[in-house]
Amino acid sequence: MSKVRVGIIGAGWWATFNHIPQLQSRDDVEVAAVCRLGRELLDKIQGQFNIPFATEDYHELLAQDLDAVVVSTPHHMHHEHAGAALRRGMHVMCEKPMTLDPAQAWDLVLLAEAQDRVLLVPYGWNYKPFSQQAKRLMDEGAVGEVEYALCHMASPTKEFFGAAESVEVMSQWEPTLAEPEPSTWQVAENGGGYGHGQITHASSLLMWLTGLRAAAVSARVTAPGSPVDMYNAASVTFHNGAIGTVSGAATLPANDKFQVDLRIFGTEGVLMIDMERERLVVRRHDKQHVEVEVESGTGAYDCDTPPHRFIEAIKGEAGNDSPGELGARAVELISAMFESSRGGGRPVRVFREAPTEETA
C-alpha cells in the first residue's frame, strides 16, 4: 500500500492532542475520516486537520475505504467500535483500557487473529528505550523463572479522576481542541477511576516483561472524596505459581513525575525498573549484575511512539509490543480486582476465555 488510510472513531481530547497529529506527521498515512458526536466540534476538528470525511455515525466511517481505525471513544464503547472495525477487516489501535469486560477483551483478540489484523493498545511505556532493554534482559533469562513481582504506580491525577464537574489535565497535556469528558473518567460504570485509567499501564508493562497472566486476585480499592477509585491494592497469584502485588495511587501532587516501579524476582536474581528515578538494574545471585545507563528524561510518559508503531506493524516493518492479548490480560486482572473489592477482598478467579489443561 502507498498510504495507510486511517479513520478515527472518537475524536476527543487524546485523539486530537496526540493520535491525529502523530499520524499526520507521517508521509505514509492519510487520516481519511473522523467520527465523534457533536457536529460543531466535529466540523472544527475536520477543518483544522483537513480530514476529507467527517460523521457522527461510526457505521458511516466504517463504510469508507479505510485500512485502519483508531478507537479512542469512552472506555465502555471500545468493544463495540473496535469489534465493528475488525469485522470489516481493518487494523485497529484501541485505546486503553481495551475494554471493561474480560470476555469482550478476549473477543477482540480472537477477532483480530481470525482476520489476521493488527490490534495494538497504545501503552507508551512499553516503547521506552530502557523498557525495551528490560524486555531483552528478561527474554535472555536475566532473573530466571519469575517467582514474585511488585508492580506499583502513582500519578498526579487527583483532580483528573476526583473533580465533580470538570477534568483537570496535567499541564503537559493541555487540550488543544477537545476537553476530556468527565463522564469517561469520573463515572465508574464507564470505566472511570484509577484502575482502568492507570493501573492498566503498569500491569500491562509487568505482563509484557514477564509473560505472566493473573490467575487469582484478592484486592481492595478505595475512593476517598471521589465517585471512582483513587487507591488500589491487590495480591495476585499468577498462572505459573508466582505471586505478586499490584498497587496504585491517584494522588501525587500536581505535575509530580509519574511513579512506575516494577521489581521482578526470579530464581536467578531480580530486575528493577523505575520510571520516576529512571533506573534499570539487574542483581543476580551469580554476581553477574547489570546496571543500564538510562538517559535523563526518558522515563517520562508519552504516547508518541504507539501510533507510529501501529503503522509500522501494519506495513510489516516492526513488531507490536503492546498487542491486544496484553490489553486483555490487563482487563481481566483489573476486572477481578474490582470484583474482589466488592466482595470485601475475597479471592476471585480471573476470567479465562477458554478452559485449558493448565487453567481448568
* Segments making up each domain of the chain, as ranges: 4-123, 125-301+323-349
pLDDT tens digits, one per residue of 173-201: 777 877 778 788 888 899 999 999 999 99
Closest CA to 331 of 209, 237, 220, 191: 191
Q: Tell me what pLDDT residue 351 has.
A: 76
Q: Which residues of 161-198 are buried (b: 16+ CB within 10 A; e: fewer)?
A: bbeeeebebbeebeeebbebebebbbbbebbbbbbbbb
Beta strands at 259-266 and 243-249: parallel, antiparallel or unpaired: unpaired
**What is the C-alpha to C-alpha distance for residues 293 and 281, in angstroms, rounded to an integer?**
9
pLDDT tens digits, one per residue of 88-126: 999 999 999 999 999 999 999 999 999 999 999 999 999
Q: Tell me what pLDDT residue 354 has.
A: 45
Architecture of domain 125-301+323-349: 2-Layer Sandwich (3.30)
**What is the C-alpha to C-alpha distance for residues 228 and 226, in angstroms, rounded to an integer?**
5
pLDDT tens digits, one per residue of 229-252: 999 999 999 999 999 999 999 999
Spatial neighbors of 209 by CB under 8 A, at least 6 apart, are 131, 134, 135, 138, 262, 264, 271, 273
Rounded to the nearest 10°, the torsion over CA 69, 17, 198, 209 is: 60
Q: Tell me what pLDDT residue 164 has.
A: 60
**What is the C-alpha to C-alpha distance for residues 255 and 277, in angstroms, rounded to an integer?**
15
**In Å, what is the CA distance from 114 to each residue of 7, 71, 99, 165, 197?**
21, 19, 19, 42, 29
Alpha helices per DSSP H over 25-101: 39-49, 58-62, 78-87
Could you give the count of Cα atoms lying within 13 Å of 69 in the half-sphere of its Cβ? 31
Q: Tell me what pLDDT residue 175 has.
A: 73
**In Å, what is the CA distance from 261 to each residue of 131, 139, 249, 273?**
12, 19, 12, 6
Q: Tell me what pLDDT residue 358 has.
A: 44
Evaluated on CA atoms 327, 328, 331, 337, the torsion sign reads negative
Read off the C-alpha cell for 358.
493448565
Q: Where is 68: in which H helix or E strand?
A: strand 68-71
Read off the C-alpha cell for 304.
508518541
Is there a contact between 32 and 5 (Cβ–Cβ < 8 Å)? yes
Extract the residue ranges of the chain whose pLDDT is less than 50.
Answer: 354-360
pLDDT tens digits, one per residue of 279-288: 999 999 999 9
Q: Tell me what pLDDT residue 331 has.
A: 97
Class of CATH domain 4-123? alpha beta
Rounded to two decimals, the pTM is 0.94
